[in-house]
Amino acid sequence: MRNVAVLLTCALALLSCKNETTSPKEGTTQEAAAQPQEDVITLKGEFIYLDNAAVLNCGDKIYGVTIDDKMHELAKEVAKQQKEKVDMVPVIIHGVIGPNPVLAKNQEGWPEVVTIKEIVKVLPLNEDNAIRIESGK
Protein backbone atom coordinates (compact mmCIF):
# COMPACT_ATOMS: atom_id res chain seq x y z
CA MET A 1 0.00 0.00 0.00
CA ARG A 2 2.85 2.34 0.85
CA ASN A 3 4.52 1.64 -2.52
CA VAL A 4 1.31 2.50 -4.36
CA ALA A 5 1.09 5.84 -2.52
CA VAL A 6 4.69 6.71 -3.43
CA LEU A 7 4.09 5.70 -7.06
CA LEU A 8 0.93 7.82 -7.27
CA THR A 9 2.72 10.81 -5.74
CA CYS A 10 5.54 10.53 -8.28
CA ALA A 11 3.07 10.21 -11.15
CA LEU A 12 1.14 13.28 -10.01
CA ALA A 13 4.35 15.27 -9.65
CA LEU A 14 5.42 14.39 -13.19
CA LEU A 15 2.01 15.16 -14.68
CA SER A 16 1.72 18.48 -12.91
CA CYS A 17 4.91 19.82 -14.54
CA LYS A 18 4.17 22.11 -17.48
CA ASN A 19 6.18 22.52 -20.63
CA GLU A 20 5.90 26.25 -21.15
CA THR A 21 7.09 27.77 -24.36
CA THR A 22 7.96 31.42 -24.15
CA SER A 23 7.08 33.71 -26.98
CA PRO A 24 8.95 36.92 -27.71
CA LYS A 25 7.97 39.69 -25.31
CA GLU A 26 5.64 42.37 -26.52
CA GLY A 27 7.46 45.33 -27.97
CA THR A 28 10.11 43.28 -29.79
CA THR A 29 10.00 43.32 -33.54
CA GLN A 30 9.99 40.30 -35.79
CA GLU A 31 13.24 41.57 -37.30
CA ALA A 32 15.03 41.39 -33.94
CA ALA A 33 13.70 37.89 -33.33
CA ALA A 34 14.84 36.76 -36.79
CA GLN A 35 18.44 37.91 -36.34
CA PRO A 36 20.87 35.04 -35.74
CA GLN A 37 22.84 34.94 -32.52
CA GLU A 38 26.51 35.84 -32.87
CA ASP A 39 28.88 32.97 -32.19
CA VAL A 40 31.29 34.46 -29.68
CA ILE A 41 34.40 32.31 -29.33
CA THR A 42 37.60 32.52 -27.30
CA LEU A 43 40.75 33.13 -29.30
CA LYS A 44 44.35 33.04 -28.09
CA GLY A 45 47.02 34.48 -30.32
CA GLU A 46 49.56 37.21 -30.93
CA PHE A 47 48.20 40.68 -31.63
CA ILE A 48 49.77 43.62 -33.46
CA TYR A 49 48.41 46.97 -34.63
CA LEU A 50 50.40 49.04 -37.11
CA ASP A 51 49.40 51.78 -39.54
CA ASN A 52 45.61 51.25 -39.32
CA ALA A 53 45.90 47.48 -39.74
CA ALA A 54 45.42 44.99 -36.90
CA VAL A 55 46.21 41.27 -37.05
CA LEU A 56 45.65 38.34 -34.70
CA ASN A 57 47.98 35.39 -35.37
CA CYS A 58 46.51 32.26 -33.77
CA GLY A 59 49.24 29.95 -35.04
CA ASP A 60 47.36 27.87 -37.58
CA LYS A 61 45.11 30.77 -38.64
CA ILE A 62 45.65 34.50 -39.10
CA TYR A 63 42.78 36.97 -38.85
CA GLY A 64 42.38 40.63 -39.58
CA VAL A 65 40.87 42.55 -36.67
CA THR A 66 37.97 44.97 -37.04
CA ILE A 67 39.13 48.50 -36.24
CA ASP A 68 36.75 49.75 -33.53
CA ASP A 69 36.81 51.00 -29.93
CA LYS A 70 37.51 47.53 -28.46
CA MET A 71 40.45 47.05 -30.84
CA HIS A 72 41.90 50.44 -29.82
CA GLU A 73 41.46 49.47 -26.15
CA LEU A 74 43.39 46.24 -26.80
CA ALA A 75 46.08 48.13 -28.73
CA LYS A 76 46.66 50.42 -25.73
CA GLU A 77 47.01 47.44 -23.38
CA VAL A 78 49.34 45.66 -25.82
CA ALA A 79 51.51 48.79 -26.19
CA LYS A 80 52.35 48.55 -22.48
CA GLN A 81 53.89 45.09 -23.07
CA GLN A 82 55.74 45.89 -26.31
CA LYS A 83 59.46 46.60 -26.17
CA GLU A 84 59.43 47.63 -29.85
CA LYS A 85 56.53 48.78 -32.00
CA VAL A 86 56.69 45.61 -34.14
CA ASP A 87 56.47 43.13 -31.21
CA MET A 88 53.49 40.79 -31.36
CA VAL A 89 52.01 40.36 -27.88
CA PRO A 90 50.04 37.25 -26.77
CA VAL A 91 46.39 37.97 -25.94
CA ILE A 92 43.20 36.11 -25.10
CA ILE A 93 39.95 37.62 -26.39
CA HIS A 94 36.31 36.77 -26.95
CA GLY A 95 35.27 37.64 -30.48
CA VAL A 96 33.13 36.96 -33.50
CA ILE A 97 34.70 35.69 -36.73
CA GLY A 98 33.20 36.77 -40.03
CA PRO A 99 34.09 37.34 -43.67
CA ASN A 100 36.20 40.38 -44.45
CA PRO A 101 33.93 43.02 -46.06
CA VAL A 102 36.95 44.75 -47.63
CA LEU A 103 37.59 41.76 -49.90
CA ALA A 104 34.16 42.24 -51.50
CA LYS A 105 35.38 45.66 -52.66
CA ASN A 106 38.42 44.08 -54.38
CA GLN A 107 40.83 45.40 -51.76
CA GLU A 108 43.56 43.51 -49.94
CA GLY A 109 43.17 41.86 -46.57
CA TRP A 110 42.74 38.61 -44.69
CA PRO A 111 39.79 36.41 -45.74
CA GLU A 112 38.28 36.53 -42.23
CA VAL A 113 38.16 39.23 -39.57
CA VAL A 114 37.63 39.07 -35.82
CA THR A 115 35.41 41.61 -34.10
CA ILE A 116 36.53 41.83 -30.47
CA LYS A 117 33.69 41.55 -27.96
CA GLU A 118 35.75 41.25 -24.77
CA ILE A 119 39.42 41.44 -23.82
CA VAL A 120 40.09 38.53 -21.49
CA LYS A 121 43.82 38.95 -20.87
CA VAL A 122 46.98 40.50 -22.27
CA LEU A 123 49.86 38.14 -21.55
CA PRO A 124 53.49 39.20 -21.04
CA LEU A 125 55.70 39.34 -24.12
CA ASN A 126 57.61 36.07 -24.57
CA GLU A 127 61.12 37.17 -25.54
CA ASP A 128 62.39 33.58 -25.85
CA ASN A 129 60.40 33.10 -29.08
CA ALA A 130 61.20 36.53 -30.49
CA ILE A 131 63.17 36.60 -33.73
CA ARG A 132 66.00 39.11 -33.62
CA ILE A 133 67.97 40.22 -36.65
CA GLU A 134 71.36 41.65 -35.91
CA SER A 135 73.80 43.12 -38.33
CA GLY A 136 77.06 41.20 -38.66
CA LYS A 137 79.79 43.82 -38.19
What domains appear along the chain, each with residue ranges and CATH number?
A: 41-126 (2.40.50.140)
Per-residue pLDDT of the chain (137 residues; tens, 9 = 90+): 555 554 445 444 444 444 444 444 444 444 444 445 679 999 999 999 998 899 999 999 999 999 999 999 999 999 999 999 999 999 999 999 999 988 878 778 899 999 999 999 999 987 665 555 455 55
Burial 93-132 (b: 16+ CB within 10 A, else e): bebebeebeeeeeeeeebeebbbbeebeebeebeeeeeee
Write the DSSP string, 51-81: TTEEEEE-SS-EEEE--SHHHHHHHHHHHHH
